[in-house]
A and B are shown apart, each in its own frame.
Chain A
Amino acid sequence: MNPTHPPSRTTPGSRRWVIVLFLLLFVLHHDFWAWADRRLVLGFLPVGLFYHALFSLAAGGLWALANHYAWPDALERWADEPATGVRETAPAPAAAQSPAIPLRTH
């Protein structure tokens, strides 16, 4: 089966933006300003825990953007193309393996 692939929205520029957002989240993880803060948000949620719960939601948002703007289309197409000399069960012993097969098809 060779699934159809929708047009790609991934460009080098969009991929770079996703990387920048990833790095931004990476830095924002270190909330040193709330280190000693014992306040409770809504009366029960410690502020440090509240911040990091929001961080988790932001991470989900980041990966949604990555799916749309940094998706590895070329790899996906390559994987869906049929390959020659492919096995599906057990490997051959090292000595009996076929030589490496170049699979650049484009």
Chain B
Amino acid sequence: MFALTEGVQVVLIIAGYLGLLVLLGLTSNHFFKGTSADYFVVSRSVGPILLLMSIFGTTMTGFAMVGSTGKAYTSGIGVYGLMASWSGLIHSAAFFLVGIRLWAYGKKYGYLTQCEFFRERFASPALGYWLFPVLVLLVIPYLLVGVIAAGKFVQATTAGAFPQWFSLPAIPGPDGTLRPNPLSGGVPYWLGAAVVCLIVLCYVFYGGLRGAVWANTFQTVVFMAAGLVAFWLVAERMGGLVEAGRRVAASAYGAPRLAREGLIGQAQFFSYFLVPLSVGMFPHLFQHWLTARSARSFRLTVVAHPIFIMLVWVPCILIGLWATAQLGPGTNPNAVLGRMVNQLVHSPILTGIVAAGVLAAIMSSLDSQFMCLGTMFTQDIVLRLVGPDRFNDRQKIRLARGFILGIVGVTYLLSLGLKDTAHVFDLGVWCFSGFAALFPLVFAALYWRRATAAGALASLAAAVVTWLILFYRDTAMGANKPPGEDELLIFGLMPVVFICAASTLALVVVSLVTRPPAPAVVDRFFPPQRPQAK
């Protein structure tokens, strides 16, 4: 039997939280109407509050809590401007200009996936087939961000809980002498990540997207509250807000991180505005948009989203900043939040609540990503190849679940190999950059009648090729640089600038030199701008 040590109590709280999620999935299953449309898009019945919470929960991932804290620790407060404030402006713009319009087409024509929309908008089955692997390729790093963040965080927060089972060898300190491994006794990465994947699989399998929407809403409340609790507790343990600020200002490592000079370039800061455009092409967000009951359900989301981002990110950035004074240099950025909570908050209950909050942020994205991959595989590949009547609804759902299981398995195995080399923030930025490069495609599909199928395919190809080249270059270069300082810049600009430029150029040039699309195809997607007088 285990002694009820602090670490074990934290584990029990996390286990209780995960149990609640499974219960939520099982409960949502009672509302399941038995159709694939209900499983995949909740019968398009979601109102404003659930839409806000599920979209926000889906958008905020391990990247938001674990990644932002770690990046603030290495690069300072500029991280908020890079990602959070740009996202507040750009995400809502994407919801307003892209999300509402895609919802309208989804409702009108019954779409369930992006590939269906693009295939019909450009009258090109080939585009649908090519888009599918690209979206899967880009979602996998996003899944990795979540799985790695979850496994690392669980290990850091449960350190010391099971010294007999999960002890780790001592590690050499800066002076060469051996010191105890701070993660010793914690739930090992392979186990924490596996449990998180299994729990998400469980409620997605039972509840479909309804399960994910309900779970996201619950998890959004939990991680917002937990973030504020963590912030308050860490601030208190550091001697209060003013004392924490004073300690950073007095720290040789922390003081420069109170500003951006020398840490973030002006061109880099500006070019980050392209990164949040990725939300316009996230397949999991597309699926959430389709769940809206009406266009008006989006209103609350576009207004509250920037404010919610601020409420989550400001405390995380400050914790990362305070970690510069508390932990000093040399901590793995992925482990900063976990170590701050573990080191400063000695109440196992509160540590457990904060841990549950971080897991909530991570899992609220994983579930939607799992769901969208299953939906796309069923709708865009299997049913396209064998015909829509080959399988009944029950079989379609089984197909989706099977594909989800395969993808989760692949992601989990990849994460085991990459957990010590991939940085959550940087991996997330690469993933977002890839999706952002597809934004010109969706924007042209919605607002440019002259865009052609050949232009769309050229844009897709240009985005993939430039992304792969630059990602490879960054990975090869980053191997020899210290953690958190391996971001690739080209002429001071983020790679996303060049990837987006290539995809936009290919789209425009190829569209203009190919035959315009048939009016009968395009007219379906360009409704009148305003009602005409009768």
**Residues on A close to B: CB < 8 A?**
3, 22, 25-26, 29-32, 34-38, 40, 42-46, 48-49, 52-53, 55-57, 59-60, 62-64, 66-67, 72-80, 83, 86-94, 96-97, 99-104, 106
Judge if B89 is at the interface, Cβ distance under 8 Å: yes
Interface centre among B85, B255, B294 (most CB of A within 10 A): B85
* With A66-B96, A89-B35: A37-B259 Cβ-Cβ less than 8 Å: yes
Q: Which residues on the A side are within 8 Å of B110 (C-beta)?
A: 86-89
User: What's the nearest-Cβ distance from chain A to residue B483, in Å?
Assistant: 22
Proximity string of chain B (503-534) to chain A, C-beta cutoff 8 Å, 1 when within and 0 when not: 00000000000000010110110011111100
Residue of B nearest to A26 (CB): B89
Instruction: Judge whether B104 and A75 touch: CB under 8 Å.
Output: yes
Instruction: Judge whether A79 and B108 touch: CB under 8 Å.
Output: yes
- Cα-based distance from A104 to B393 in the complex (angstroms): 32
* With A67-B299, A89-B35, A90-B383: A44-B528 Cβ-Cβ less than 8 Å: no
- Cα-based distance from A66 to B307 in the complex (angstroms): 16
- Cα-based distance from A91 to B380 in the complex (angstroms): 8
Instruction: Judge whether A26 and B259 touch: CB under 8 Å.
Output: no
User: What's the nearest-Cβ distance from chain A to residue B236, in Å?
Assistant: 13
- Cα-based distance from A72 to B120 in the complex (angstroms): 23
User: What's the nearest-Cβ distance from chain B to residue A89, in Å?
Assistant: 5
Q: Which residues on the A side are within 8 Å of B105 (C-beta)?
A: 79
Judge if B384 is at the interface, Cβ distance under 8 Å: yes
Instruction: Judge whether A48 and B77 touch: CB under 8 Å.
Output: yes
User: What's the nearest-Cβ distance from chain A to residue B446, in Å?
Assistant: 10
Instruction: Judge whether B295 and A75 touch: CB under 8 Å.
Output: yes
* 27 CB-based A-B contacts, threshold 8 Å: A22-B89, A26-B89, A30-B269, A34-B259, A35-B266, A37-B259, A43-B241, A45-B318, A48-B80, A48-B81, A48-B258, A48-B260, A49-B80, A52-B84, A56-B307, A56-B310, A59-B89, A60-B306, A62-B89, A64-B303, A67-B299, A74-B528, A76-B295, A79-B105, A80-B295, A86-B109, A89-B110
* With A76-B104, A102-B523: A63-B303 Cβ-Cβ less than 8 Å: yes
Instruction: Judge whether B244 and A91 touch: CB under 8 Å.
Output: no
Instruction: Judge whether A106 and B107 touch: CB under 8 Å.
Output: no
- Cα-based distance from A53 to B316 in the complex (angstroms): 13
User: What's the nearest-Cβ distance from chain B to residue A39, in Å?
Assistant: 8
Apart from the given pairs A59-B89, A74-B530, A91-B384, 18 other A-B contacts in the complex at a CB distance below 8 Å: A36-B261, A38-B259, A44-B244, A48-B77, A48-B258, A52-B85, A53-B310, A63-B303, A72-B295, A73-B530, A74-B529, A76-B100, A78-B108, A80-B295, A86-B109, A94-B119, A103-B527, A104-B523
Instruction: Judge whether A59 and B85 touch: CB under 8 Å.
Output: yes
- Cα-based distance from A64 to B304 in the complex (angstroms): 9
- Cα-based distance from A93 to B259 in the complex (angstroms): 56
B100, B103, B120, B527: the one within 8 Å of A104 (CB): B527
A29, A32, A40, A88: the one within 8 Å of B245 (CB): A40
How many B residues have CB within 8 A of the partner chain? 81
Judge if B407 is at the interface, Cβ distance under 8 Å: no
Q: Which residues on the A side are within 8 Å of B120 (C-beta)?
A: 97, 100
Residue of A nearest to B300 (CB): A67
Judge if B78 is at the interface, Cβ distance under 8 Å: yes
Q: Which residues on the B side are within 8 Å of A60 (C-beta)?
A: 88, 303-307
* With A40-B245, A48-B78: A91-B388 Cβ-Cβ less than 8 Å: yes
Name the interface residues of B75-110: CB closer than 8 Å to any CB of A: 77-78, 80-81, 84-86, 88-89, 92-93, 96, 100-101, 103-105, 107-110
Instruction: Judge whether B520 and A100 touch: CB under 8 Å.
Output: yes
Q: Which residues on the A side are within 8 Å of B528 (C-beta)?
A: 74, 78, 104, 106
Judge if B317 is at the interface, Cβ distance under 8 Å: yes
Instruction: Judge whether A46 and B321 touch: CB under 8 Å.
Output: yes
A75, A88, A89, A92: the one within 8 Å of B101 (CB): A75
Residue of B nearest to A6 (CB): B296
Judge if B24 is at the interface, Cβ distance under 8 Å: no
User: What's the nearest-Cβ distance from chain B to residue A46, in Å?
Assistant: 5
Judge if B369 is at the interface, Cβ distance under 8 Å: no
User: What's the nearest-Cβ distance from chain B to residue A52, in Å?
Assistant: 4
Instruction: Judge whether A78 and B527 touch: CB under 8 Å.
Output: yes
A42, A62, A75, A90: the one within 8 Å of B100 (CB): A75
Q: Which residues on the A side are within 8 Å of B384 (C-beta)?
A: 91, 93-94
A36, A44, A56, A89: the one within 8 Å of B37 (CB): A89
Judge if B116 is at the interface, Cβ distance under 8 Å: yes
Instruction: Judge whether B86 and A3 touch: CB under 8 Å.
Output: no
Q: Which residues on the A side are within 8 Å of B176 (C-beta)?
A: none
Interface centre among A52, A62, A64, A88 (most CB of B within 10 A): A52
Judge if B396 is at the interface, Cβ distance under 8 Å: yes
Proximity string of chain B (145-182) to chain A, C-beta cutoff 8 Å, 1 when within and 0 when not: 00000000000000000000000000000000000000
User: What's the nearest-Cβ distance from chain A to residue B457, in Å?
Assistant: 15
B101, B108, B307: the one within 8 Å of A57 (CB): B307
Nearest 3 CB-CB pairings of A with B: A90-B388, A79-B104, A44-B245
- Cα-based distance from A89 to B96 in the complex (angstroms): 26
User: What's the nearest-Cβ distance from chain B to residue A103, in Å?
Assistant: 6
* With A56-B88, A56-B310, A78-B108: A67-B295 Cβ-Cβ less than 8 Å: no
Q: Which residues on the A side are within 8 Å of B249 (C-beta)?
A: 38, 40
- Cα-based distance from A88 to B314 in the complex (angstroms): 42
Judge if B242 is at the interface, Cβ distance under 8 Å: yes
Instruction: Judge whether B388 and A72 touch: CB under 8 Å.
Output: no
Judge if B452 is at the interface, Cβ distance under 8 Å: no
